[in-house]
Amino acid sequence: MAISIDERLLRHVDRLVRNRIFKTRSEAIQKAVQEKLGRLEKSRLGRECMKLSKREEQRWADLGIKADAKEWPEY
């Protein structure tokens, strides 16, 4: 795989490698991509959660607990 990268950004990556924050350029770029994708996924999850109705979700949760409780053994 080959990528193009801004020269200023590449100098920054090289500085991190030189300072032994990362072993290689590849490692630095891989970690950066992983972090960015993780943040995007979390923000997507947050956006999707905001679409939920708190009242409706609570109703479903209560129904599930009642159904599960019937299967629980007595202690």
- Residue 65: pLDDT over 80: no
Nearest one of 23, 44, 25 to 33, comparing CA atoms = 25
CA dihedral 34, 38, 40, 45 (to 10 degrees): 160
Tokens of 59: 């109703």
Phi and psi based region of residue 20 (left: phi greater than 0; alpha: psi -120 to 50; beta: remaining): left
Q: Mind listing the pLDDT tens digit for each residue in 7-40? A: 999 999 999 999 999 999 999 999 999 999 888 8
In a domain, 39, yes or no: yes
Instruction: Tell whether 2 is covered by a domain.
Output: no
Residue 75 lies in a domain: no
Q: Has residue 46 been placed in a domain? A: yes
Structural domain includes residue 50: yes
**Tokens linked to 56:** 């409706």
Q: Note the pTM of the prediction, 2 decimals.
A: 0.57
Give me the pLDDT at residue 1, please.
Answer: 83
Residue 11 falls inside a structural domain: yes
Q: Which residue has the higher pLDDT, 63 or 17?
A: 17
Question: What range does the domain containing 51 cover?
Answer: 7-70
In a domain, 1, yes or no: no
Count of structural domains, the chain: 1
